[in-house]
Structure 1
Amino acid sequence: MPKRENISMSVIRRLPRYYRFLTHLKEKGVTRISSTELSVKLGLTASQIRQDLNCFGGFGQQGYGYIVDQLCDEIGNILGLSNRYKTILIGAGNLGRAIATHMQFEEEGFELIGIFDSSPSKTGTRINGKIVMDTTELEDFCEKEKPVMAILCIPREGVHSILERLYSLGVRNFWNFSHYDISMRYEDTVVENVHLNDSLMTLCYRISNPNNK
């Protein structure tokens, strides 16, 4: 797939929503849909949808619309969902355990190959078929398995030291639940920050201000 540049993050962040909805349509047996029908279902304008998809090439036919399974596959390819990037998870507490147990990593472009924690009460336990390893084993494991992405489910104050170790081991991509600003320290990393508190406060505002959609 040719490298694409200068595509806005707002467009990229809409792609998983398109993919999720199209997958649902496939499961229901829908074979074709127009941009107008998509716009009604997704709460976007038909023009916005066409502009988003045109960033990656033309997928629809005027007067015919989009072939659902074809467009779903194309968006999956754009997102790189078949890459199975080797991934490790740091932090086997409640959040880490929930992510390791319930996320369908293989369907979303990743393969969870290791789980680590520094707590003796957690190491040696099993989560979704994987034994939680002590973080002292991190170097040996990474040198052997070469993970490219790490999920950080540890407190903010614990990130600095583990981040330096991961970076020195070649890990440059992070799904970060820690509230630590990784990209400020290492500019060549790819980071997706997840701030659950921010999302909850946003919901609180929207409930408090129902006229502000």
Structure 2
Amino acid sequence: MTREYSNISMAVIRRLPKYHRYLKDLLDQETYRISSKELSKLIGFTASQIRQDLNCFGGFGQQGYGYNVEELYNEIGKILGLYQSYPTVIVGAGNLGQAIANYTNFDKFGFSTLALFDSNPKMIGMRIRDIAVHDVDQLEEFIKKNQVRIGVICTPKKVAQDVATKLSEAGVQGIWNFAPIDIKVPEEIIVENVHLSESLFTLSFLLSQEFDQE
């Protein structure tokens, strides 16, 4: 997080992508002005919460007018860093790695996947959405040569830490980790963990509570 926003809680930061997504939907529907109350009905946050969150980054709304949707969408995009370029590699070309490589929406926001890497000889040389799968032994050289900023880990748990170490030593600035393990990297490397099972188990808990009440 930049020094400018270092005093803002991660809870607020993690709500920004949701604002950005709903504002894009509003623009697609040719809605160009909205109040915090109307936005509240769409997103599910209270109007007060929305105003508090957005006030952390300066004054966007106007009393009696509400928010300019396009302006707010663009400003949140800037805050999220979506107008920069993020050369990315994916390590692990299995089902999950391929699914991420095939998701074209990331390209629209500067997250360009340059290559996939795998240790399976049968995968090497394949192309996923015209993105080549390379031997994982070439990972560090490729990162340095192409100034890769983000590494995505889609490997089994047992090799994830080794991959994270290679990514860190090669010079990536951030790691998006889908492996079911908390990796250890130098503190200057930013890590975002996506443990799919934890999300599923939370759903399981909520469903079991609902069942118990019935």
Q: TM-score range by the shorter chain?
A: over 0.9
Give TM-score, length-normalised by structure 1: 0.93
One-letter code of the match for 1:210? E
CA distance in 2, matches of 1:161, 1:31: 48
Partner of 1:30: 31
Query: Does the 8 A contact of 1:84 with 1:106 survive in 2?
Result: no
CA distance in 1, matches of 2:165, 2:7: 30
Instruction: Quote how far apart the aligned CAs of 1:198 are.
Output: 0.8
Give the RMSD, CA atoms, in angstroms: 1.7
Partner of 2:209: 209
CA distance in 1, matches of 2:12, 2:161: 32
In the comparison of the two structures, how many residue pairs are matched?
211
One-letter code of the match for 2:186? Y
Instruction: Quote how far apart the aligned CAs of 1:31 are.
Output: 1.1
Instruction: Quote how far apart the aligned CAs of 1:161 are.
Output: 2.0
CA distance in 1, matches of 2:157, 2:29: 43
User: Could you list the per-position Cα deviations for residues 174-193 of structure 1 after superposition, in whole angstroms to 9, with x for gaps in the alignment?
Assistant: 000012222x4432221110
CA distance in 2, matches of 1:150, 1:33: 37
Instruction: Among all aligned residue pairs of Structure 1 and Structure 2, give the percentage whose two residues are the same amino acid.
Output: 48
CA distance in 2, matches of 1:2, 1:185: 21
One-letter code of the match for 2:199? S
Partner of 2:9: 8
Instruction: Quote how far apart the aligned CAs of 1:105 are.
Output: 1.7
Aligned structure 1 segments of 4 or more residues deviating by more than 3 angstroms: none
Partner of 1:100: 101
User: Could you list the per-position Cα deviations for residues 103-124 of structure 1 after superposition, in whole angstroms to 9, with x for gaps in the alignment?
Assistant: 5222234221111111011110
User: Could you list the per-position Cα deviations for residues 38-81 of structure 1 after superposition, in whole angstroms to 9, with x for gaps in the alignment?
Assistant: 11111111110001001111001011100111111111111111
Partner of 2:196: 196
Gaps of 5+ in 2: none
2:4 is paired with a residue of what secondary structure?
Answer: coil
Instruction: Quote how far apart the aligned CAs of 1:2 are.
Output: 7.5
Partner of 2:65: 64
